[in-house]
Amino acid sequence: MNIVQSPLTLIMTIKSPDDFAQLSGLLTKIQSAPPEQNPIWVALTKLKTVHFARFVFLANNTQLAVITTYDGDFDKYINDFIDTIGDVFNALLAHMQGAPPLPVQQNRDAFLAYVKQNDLRGLDPFYSAYPQASVVTILDALNQG
Amino acid sequence: MVPLDDVQGLILRSYGMDCAALFLLRVQDPAAARRTLGSLPVTAGTLWQEKPAFCVNVAFTIQGLAALGVSPASLNSFPQDFAAGAFSRCAEVGDIGPCSAENWDYGLGQPGLHALVLLFAQSPDVREAQTALLRQTLVSSGAWSEVATLPGDVLPGNVAHFGYRDGFSQPTVDCGLENPFPDKQPVAPAGEFLLGYPSQFDQFSYPVPVPDELGRNGSFMVLRILEQDCAAFDALLNQSEQRYGIEGELLAAKIMGRWRNGTPLSISPSSDSPVPPLATSDLNQYDYVPSDAIPDAFNDHRGVRCPIGAHMRRANPRGSTIAGDGGSRHRIVRRGIPYGPPYDSSKPNDGIKRGLLGLFIGVSIKDQFEFLMSEWMNGSTFAPGIYGTTDPILGNSAEGENTFVIPRDNSTPLVISHFPRLITTRGSAYTFLPSITGLRFIANLP
């Protein structure tokens, strides 16, 4: 079956305990802000290709995972993605080992390559309760489009 | 500032000429071919005091640049989409089934084309005279061989073959030229259509192919030879009332998003002749939902006036809610001219080929033309209510049939299944339009 959604399981390796401390502070600050002041929330609300997104520290705080379910082809929407949420990734990637050159806005191919290289996706099959419903379709059905 | 005198004029403006001839060429003698480039009367973007009788532009495929002696280092600096060529990008574009490259005319399904010389003329006489001169310069000299020459002619009433007036909506490019059909959409930065300037994307300019002399102020152009099935379109409209309960002319408007005379459904949903009449300059002043620029626009987020799957709403969603929020970042410049004589409905199967010689221009074939084809024309998840459908004019599907959804006020949508294929791709080419300096660079290669 054709599923319009895809999994992103981006695992980024943190440079050092100091970098973890700074990242943790940064993400706590961002995520505790009200939605309209949370740049991640604002960006994803505009982007309308991401169903769910969460950040998780893994492996004894040496890795940061960005786990999302998104619509369509990541490559195709890379420019729109960067234009909407690029600055958040600039802030995160500054603390990552093997990060692509920054800012991501000026290094688009390298950012895409980095995401592809560090995206574990998931073991197939990817389950979806509503395989044909994109974010825009769901919002429209809920009259929130 | 964009040096208009260094940019091929076709990129930035429509010439408004009634006749064209597209020369499909192969390099025969590289040194002689380079010399002819130095003598072609190529039209730049400079403003005219007086409209000339004809215009000439020239574009190259990657094989053409190689055949003319452009170095491997330079060829490798061109983007991969252009280098791959149209014939190898069918999957991205949706050229499948009868539209696939193996069925293309003029050998375009394989690498072989080197250059396109585009002649636009005010009259058939001028076209014939200039065609003869161009043939003498290019072909009789032994420099180039002629693969084919494709004539194009504006049809009476300035319409395309399905009877729609076209060409209203073009991006307004930040280059000092006015848009003949002004709109309230964001002005496109020069770097969306020319190499060497900040693009439509944040803090980003597309890499300029090297050397700078060759790449800067150039752009990319996709040729599409699109055969139109006028008999199928005619039958669709004639049977519309009986089969689908919708009047044929209204179906034509729902398919396009405009009535055939150009009046947008978003402004005038029930008549092609609103009272008071729309000025020509108003034909592009609309949006599908209220926006900052048009706050009083009718909120048509469900598509009850203009279907979300209508051709022009897919091709340019304007302020509509879409995946990626990139409605104004994937625009293309459209040039084109019909080929074949006007369709005569009393002779539906006359065997004459008709269609559009389409030219689609942008700084990135991948991010503009291909994005538009894969996501908006043939895709169905970027907007609500169109899942499993493709564009009613240009869309393609493995089955060769489409579904078209027409939302209605206070009723379930009208769903037309077994919607026929109306257009078949007969050929395509990915080409580079160098600047005037770039052309001189090629002409002077050792």
Residue B286 pLDDT exceeds 70:
yes
Q: Is B398 on the interface with A (CB under 8 A)?
A: no
Output the pLDDT for position A90.
Answer: 98
Backbone dihedral region for residue B167 (phi beyond 0: left; psi -120 to 50: alpha; all else: beta): left
For B47-95, write each residue's pLDDT tens digit: 999 999 999 999 999 999 999 999 999 999 999 999 999 999 999 999 9
Nearest-Å Rg of the Cα atoms of chain A is 15
* Contact: A136, B204; criterion CB under 8 Å: no
Q: Is A137 on the interface with B (CB under 8 A)?
A: yes
Residues 6+ away with beta carbon under 8 Å from B289: B297, B299, B300, B301, B319, B320, B321
pLDDT band at B214 (very low <50, low <70, confident <90, very high): very high
* Contact: A105, B203; criterion CB under 8 Å: yes
Can you read off the two tokens belonging to residue B35? 């010399």
A141 chain-B contacts, CB cut-off 8 A: 384
A132 chain-B contacts, CB cut-off 8 A: 387-388
A133 chain-B contacts, CB cut-off 8 A: 387
* Residue B130 DSSP class: H
Per-chain mean pLDDT for chain B = 95
* Contact: A82, B201; criterion CB under 8 Å: yes
CA distance A17 to B349: 76
B302 chain-A contacts, CB cut-off 8 A: 140
CA distance A77 to A68: 15
Q: Is A84 on the interface with B (CB under 8 A)?
A: yes
For B125-137, write each residue's pLDDT tens digit: 999 999 999 999 9
Of chain A, the end-to-end C-alpha distance in Å amounts to: 26
* Contact: A106, B203; criterion CB under 8 Å: yes
Q: How far is B275 from chain A (nearest CA, A)?
A: 32
For B122-175, write each residue's pLDDT tens digit: 999 999 999 999 999 999 999 999 999 999 999 999 999 999 998 888 999 999
* Contact: A140, B204; criterion CB under 8 Å: no
CA distance B98 to B95: 8
Can you read off the two tokens belonging to residue B53? 């009788």
* Total residue length of chain A: 145
